[in-house]
Amino acid sequence: MLQTLKNLFSHSLDHPGASSGIIQEKPDFNELKKSNMMMIDMHVHTRFSDSYSRVCKVLAKAEMLGIGVAITDHNEIQGVLRAHELNPDAPVIPGIEVGTLEGPHVLVYFSEICELIDFYHTRIAPYKSLDPYTNTTVGIKDLVVAASRYESLVSVAHPFSHAYTNVPRSIMTGVTDPSFFDYVDAVEVLNGAVSKRRNNQASDFAENLHMQRTGGSDSHSLFEIGSIVTCAKAGSVKAFLAAIKEGRNRVIGKPVGRVRRVPSLAKLSHKHLQHLVPAMCRQMEAYFCGEMEYTDTLIAHKIDMIKTESHHFLTRKLHLSQGWRKEHKKAPVTI
């Protein structure tokens, strides 16, 4: 795995993603309907995690577009349960986005809502952190192994996103054991919250590792829903997930743009700060009382995250060599 990553990042990844099954343009829902395609935005957040979108509004927007959604709230399933309560016949995939102990985020989709409920209560709920919408204390390999025991689809979310959620960087710095990929079905190759360049990198990543592909808007506002969809010829959620596992699907769409996403970023930041600020204050009080080490506090973690991301940013901008990249000074690449 490490050698594969080194080979992958020794080449430029700035070219347009041209992998089969990935179309980076606005979805034409009318044409897709004519092809009898089931269209699902596979990454949608609601007010039950770091969004303010009401479930009823999410369902209404999806119905207006003629698509389905996978509600994948962070470490939470109340949004899915609410959707099932409001309209049990709506094309909604029961899902969840889990922040792992090492940093990367994992999307887990289920055919049956009862299996999601069991998975959540046994594997997620007991391990939430002070900020329930960020990382849990569940190791990534433990998570995906547990998910594989259900009739589920596991996809690595936005693998080239910034900071600690960046999967290749986490692997190559030794934080994450790459063997967890043995239990992963797919990689999210189009995500509405990251840049085109990073989506292209994710596409190359999936292709080099021979993984299947998923995509979704990662919406935190209603206007983002449907900007990216995963499509397959299927008549049910179970058949749809099976089609992805077999590679019989397409991912279509593109991010809505950074400027338009400002309201979404403000919403999710506000949601997180509601939990982070009180948690940081309690931890610093514990630190000053000698009840915990500074390195274990959220403040220390966030400062380290900012330093790490700044270092990688400067590495790319100033063309500095780093680690194994010393062999590739002529073509430095940022993970």
**Tokens linked to 63:** 């119905």
User: Does residue 122 lie in a domain region?
Assistant: yes
Spatial CB neighbours of 291, under 8 Å, sequence gap ≥ 6: none
Per-residue pLDDT band at 261 (split at 50, 70, 90): confident
Average pLDDT, the chain: 85
Q: Is a pLDDT exceeding 50 seen at residue 333? A: no
Q: Residue 284: its pLDDT value, please?
A: 79
Q: Which residue has the higher pLDDT, 124 or 294?
A: 124
Domain endpoint, select from 210, 231, 253 = 253
Residue 155 and residue 199 share a domain: yes
Tell me if 89 is assigned to some domain.
yes
For residues 223 and 129, which has the higher predicted lDDT (pLDDT)?
Answer: 223
State what percent of residues in the chain have pLDDT above 70.
82
What is the sign of the dihedral through the CA atoms of 261, 263, 267 and 270?
Answer: positive
Q: What is the pTM of this model?
A: 0.84
Whether residue 335 lies inside any domain: the answer is no
Is the domain of 267 the same as that of 248? no
185 with 286, same domain: the answer is no
The confidence score (pLDDT) of residue 326 equals 37
The reported pLDDT for the residue numbered 320 is 41
Q: Are residues 43 and 179 in the same domain?
A: yes
Query: What pLDDT score was predicted for residue 300?
Result: 66
Total domain count for the chain? 2
Evaluate whether 216 touches 43 at the Cβ level (below 8 Å). Answer: yes
Domain end marker among 253, 272, 296: 253
Residue the block writes with tokens 């009080």: 285
128 assigned to some structural domain: yes
For 97, the token pair is 């986005």
Q: Are residues 248 and 303 in the same domain?
A: no
Q: What is the number of residues in the chain?
A: 335
Tell me: do 279 and 220 sit in the same domain. Answer: no
Distance CA 225, CA 185 (A): 24
Domain housing 216: 2-253
Q: In degrees, to the nearest 5, what angle opens at C-alpha 55 toward C-alphas 50 and 61?
A: 110
pLDDT at 118: 98
Average pLDDT over residues 293-305: 67
Q: Are residues 61 and 178 in the same domain?
A: yes
Q: Give the model's pLDDT for residue 294.
A: 73
So what's the pLDDT on residue 213?
Answer: 97
pLDDT in tens, 69-123: 999 999 999 999 999 999 999 999 999 999 999 999 999 999 999 999 999 999 9
Tell me: do 245 and 312 sit in the same domain: no
pLDDT band at residue 10 using 50, 70 and 90 as cut-offs: very low
The closest alpha carbon to 13, from 24, 5, 21, belongs to 5
Q: Could you tell me the CA-to-CA distances from 133 to 50, 100, 120, 147 in Å, in that order?
A: 7, 11, 14, 19
Residue 17 has pLDDT above 70, yes or no: no
Is 191 in contact with 166 (CB distance < 8 Å)?
no
CA atoms within 13 A on the CB side of 163: 11
Domain boundary among 224, 253, 282: 253
Same structural domain for residues 35 and 173?
Answer: yes
- Residue recorded with tokens 């206007």: 223
DSSP, collapsed to helix, strand or coil, labels residue 156 as strand
Same domain, 176 and 275: no
The answer to whether residues 188 and 320 belong to one domain is no
- Regarding whether 317 and 236 lie in a shared domain, the answer is no
**Nearest one of 168, 121, 164 to 146, comparing CA atoms:** 121
**Domain for residue 333, yes or no?**
no
DSSP conformational letter for 135: B
CA 321, 327, 330, 333 torsion: positive or negative?
A: negative
Burial of 163 (0-12, 13-18, 19+ CB in 10 A): middle
> 180 pLDDT band (50/70/90 cuts)?
very high
318 lies in some domain: yes
The percentage of residues in the chain with a pLDDT greater than 90, rounded to a whole number, is 61
**Structure tokens, 295:** 């390195």
